Amino acid sequence: MTVYARSDVSAVTISKDHGGCGQIHSRPVVEGAPAKLWALTCHAGCENFLRADALWASTPQTIPETPDETALRQDIERRGQVEHQTSMAQALNDLAKLGDLPNVLAQLLGNAAQGGKAEAITVEQELRLCRNGHANVAGTKFCGECGANMLDAANKQPVAALSGPETASPAETGVTVTPAETQAQTVTEDLEGKSLAELREIARDAGAEIARSKAEQIDNILKARAAG
């Protein structure tokens, strides 16, 4: 099996006493310059010896870095992080000039200006009613209570805005949320917190169709439960 040398290795010799062929293996020269990738194939034993050497690797992807290559890569990564943070801050500053920002962008702007990492952000959520009057968070594909398709044109328009995870009062939303609806939303949130493998197991128990993604699998589970 071929082995690959670190970029600063120009030649190697493995004696017969160490299981090699005893010949000198040199890095190939291409158009007067050493080849960047040196793949050494020697069935006389050199490969087996070099495979355990720290300067050699079994695949091109795992070739060890030289100290200079490591320093260069780390410098590029640091520069990339700085450029990303600078670009983000500039973009948010440009948005700020347009007027009042939503809470999410305002918090991101503050964190970027301070050079810190964004903490948990509270996103405004909008409630929509299905054709049967059940409240669901905007973006839900199927009603958590009756399974109605939330993309159906018969559904009502947005009815309220919820700030953060707290539920708005009926006076604020104009909608009376029943315990059953609250429970349906809780069930949906619980399902979203599970892995795809766990969701598929729940789907089998509920007699739902197995899906390829978490979102589709949750929809299938909700529809199966609503139909049952």
Assign 164 a pLDDT band (cuts: 50, 70, 90).
Answer: very low
pLDDT given for residue 104 in this prediction = 54
Greater confidence, 41 or 215? Answer: 41
How far apart, in Å, are the Cα atoms of 193 and each of 3, 123, 184?
A: 45, 18, 15
For the cut 80, the answer to whether the pLDDT of residue 173 exceeds it is: no
Per-domain boundaries in the chain = 3-62, 67-114, 123-176
CB-neighbour burial class of residue 127 (10 A; exposed 0-12, middle 13-18, buried 19+)? buried
Read off the pTM. 0.38
Give tens-digit pLDDT for 108-129.
Answer: 666 665 555 544 444 445 667 7
- Res 83: pLDDT: 86
Model pLDDT for residues 32-88, shown as the tens digit of each residue: 999 999 999 998 889 989 988 999 999 999 999 999 999 999 999 988 888 888 887
Determine the pLDDT at residue 161.
Answer: 38
